[in-house]
Amino acid sequence: MLELAILGLLKERSMHGYQLSKRLTDTLGFWRVSYGSLYPTLRRLDQQGAVEKVFDQVEVGRRKNVYRITEKGEKLFFELLQDANTETGEDRFRVRLAFFKYLAPEARIRLLERRRTFLEERLGTIEASLSGDRDGTDTYTRALMEHGAESTEQDIAWLDDLIQAERNIAGRATTKAKGKPAKGGTKRRSKRSTTRTKGLRGKERTT
Amino acid sequence: MLELAILGLLKERSMHGYQLSKRLTDTLGFWRVSYGSLYPTLRRLDQQGAVEKVFDQVEVGRRKNVYRITEKGEKLFFELLQDANTETGEDRFRVRLAFFKYLAPEARIRLLERRRTFLEERLGTIEASLSGDRDGTDTYTRALMEHGAESTEQDIAWLDDLIQAERNIAGRATTKAKGKPAKGGTKRRSKRSTTRTKGLRGKERTT
DNA sequence: GGTTCGATATATCGGTTCGATATATCGTTG
DNA sequence: CAACGATATATCGAACCGATATATCGAACC
């Protein structure tokens, strides 16, 4: 997954390790990457020909290893991006979302809905745990779970917005305009009140 | 950190691996633990004498390894819990919060405030990145960051509530009354100010 | 002028965790 | 009773984390 993130960033512009680290932490998903995985991954990518070192304006004693993505690397990038099969874990989703512009709208929607299903399931288990646990849990565990439920609900609402926006795009791209006004676009909508989440979500897909 | 979580759960009652896995995923921080780390950790704890196997209702089926915490394990638990030195990363904080009842109120407040500082810093970098990025970022990255900022703000507000509740307890301490943590305070919505970080914050830009 | 200091930059080591998978038993249902 | 899903334990290799070592650069400070 680090490979995917690195390749995606190098697609925009060539960088050296330290810059990659900053971009990974700050802008992209703001999830901390250890040098203990960044540099080895970078070297691994280099050895398999997905990236290459750039020696240009070295000047004086500057020891910077600037990397550039190769065509092989571009291909690898799209393979990894398409491989949404194994998508659990927060970070993986974030990284993929960050490179959504390289995916077709339908693929985006598929990914967003899968994520939504996952969060909905999690919310279900949390709420089941909250309601079915008579005085077994202490205050702090309870606070933790309640906050978790709240955050998850907000994440779902956010996903709903993204999905809606994506549908608007896909709608006017393929099918003809027909009774799908969907005005505002990416503003806050989808006030979810259905806290009851047992076995909804129609259309289960096998994957 | 898995050690801490396991020991804390075994402190409540003896369990076998699968039950631990469920408790870890569902109630405690609902963060998925792989069996590839759970079982080895369990065995490691066994070998170093922090937990021990319990063979009571073996008899039939008998493929359950029930573990019980030892006195050595209890000591280890408190050591690990106190070692808040290395506290970055979501999960570590959650696990510690789940076992807050074993910490003194001052220690709790210290941990909560450290977490708060961390989140405040992160929020700062996100917002700096958001405002200082002249159209370099695409829609999706931007959405990601905005949502991240929002979530972080809510986390901070939640922390504020917890800190406030903790202060109330600590304030009326002095009496050994086995204080039960102020049930009234865990309902979100509190003032959020006292930002001792950078001055630039609080855009209130309606999503 | 020198030197302390923090940010930049690369690298590696040991240990932990992840993801996938293999195996077997139990409980239920058709 | 066979099929099936949930329970339960286990292990492997690869990825990843946290800490640490090293070195250079640009300022700041006396």
Mean per-residue pLDDT, A126-134: 76
What is the Cα–Cα distance from A88 to A96, expressed in whole angstroms? 12
Tokens of B181: 């943590």
- Shortest Cα distance from A157 to chain B (angstroms)? 11
Task: Enumerate residues 6+ apart whose C-beta is below 8 A from A32.
Answer: A25, B88, B89
d(CA B90, nearest CA chain A) in Å: 10
Q: Is the per-residue pLDDT at B107 higher than 60? A: yes
Q: Higher pLDDT residue, B186 or A155?
A: A155
Looking at the predicted structure, is the pLDDT value of residue B51 above 70? yes
How far is the alpha carbon of B171 from chain A, nearest alpha carbon, in Å? 19
Q: What is the pLDDT of residue A173?
A: 63
Mean pLDDT, chain B, integer? 80
Beta strands A66-69 and B66-69, pairing class: unpaired
With a cut of 70, say whether residue A44 has pLDDT above it.
yes
pLDDT at B184 over 70: no
A158 contacts B147? CB cut-off 8 A: yes
pLDDT tens digit sequence for A54-94: 875 555 455 789 999 999 999 999 999 987 655 677 888 99
- pLDDT for B195 beyond 70: no
Chain B window 19-78: residues with CB closer than 7 Å to nucleic chain D are: 19, 21, 34-36, 39-40, 42-43, 63-66
Strand C contacts in B 51-70 (CB under 7 A): 60-61, 63
Could you tell me the sign of the dihedral formed by the alpha carbons of B191, B85, B32, A113, in that order? positive
Alpha-carbon Rg for chain B, nearest whole angstrom, is 21
pLDDT tops 90 at residue B188: no
Per-residue pLDDT at B165 = 95
User: What interhelical angle do B2-12 and B17-26 show, nearest 10?
Assistant: 100
Q: Determine the residue of chain A that is closest to B158 in CA distance.
A: A147
pLDDT for position A59? 52
Residue A188 has pLDDT above 70, yes or no: no
Q: What is the pLDDT of residues A6-39, one digit of tens each?
A: 999 999 999 999 999 999 987 776 677 999 999 9
Q: What is the pLDDT of residues B139-179, one digit of tens each?
A: 999 999 999 999 999 999 999 999 999 999 877 766 555 54
B16: nt with nearest C1' to CA: D8
Closest CA to B127 of B96, B92, B151, B101: B151
Query: Is the pLDDT higher at B183 or at B25?
Result: B25
Q: Which of B104, B114, B152, B106 is nearest to B130 (CA)?
A: B152
The predicted structure's pLDDT at residue B92? 87
Structural contact between residues B87 and B93, judged by C-beta atoms closer than 8 angstroms: yes
**Residue B86: is its pLDDT beyond 90?**
no
Pairwise CB contact (< 8 Å): A26 & B207? no
Overall residue count recorded for chain A in this entry: 207
What sections of chain A are H helices per DSSP? 2-12, 17-26, 35-47, 71-82, 90-98, 105-132, 139-173
Our CA angle for B109, B145, B161, nearest 5°, is: 25
Per-residue model confidence (pLDDT) at position B203: 38
Residue B84 amino acid letter: A
Interchain contact, A126 vs B162, CB within 8 Å:
no
Question: Given CB atoms, is A122 within the 8 Å cutoff of chain B?
Answer: yes
CB within 7 A of strand D (chain A, 36-75):
36-37, 40-41, 44, 60-63
Check residue B185 and report its DSSP letter. Answer: G
Ramachandran class of A179: left when φ > 0, alpha when ψ lies in -120 to 50, beta otherwise: left
Residue B128 banded pLDDT, cuts 50, 70, 90: confident
Backbone angles phi, psi at A66, to 5 degrees: -85, 130
Tokens read off for A15: 């960088």
- The whole-angstrom distance between A205's CA and the closest CA on chain B is 23
Quote the CA–CA distance of A111 and A94 in Å, as a whole number.
11
pLDDT at residue B29 above 80?
Answer: no
Chain mean pLDDT for chain A: 80
CB A128 within 8 Å of CB B171: no
Helix (H, G, I), strand (E, B) or coil at B66: strand
pTM: 0.80
Please, what is the Cα angle at B190 between B187 and B196, to 5 degrees?
135
Cα A66 from Cα A73, distance rounded (Å): 15
Mark yes or no for CB contact A144/B94 under 8 Å.
yes
Decide: CB of B202 under 7 A of nucleic strand D. Answer: no
Residue A62: which region, alpha, beta or left (left: phi > 0; alpha: psi -120 to 50)? beta
**pLDDT at residue A189 greater than cutoff 90:** no
Binning chain B into helix, strand and coil, the percentages to the nearest 5 are: 60, 5, 35
pLDDT at B197 exceeding the cut of 50: no
Is residue A111 within 8 Å of A126, Cβ to Cβ? no
Considering only CB atoms, B97 lies closest to which of A98, A140, A158, namely A140
For residue B71, give both structure tokens.
Answer: 């006195």
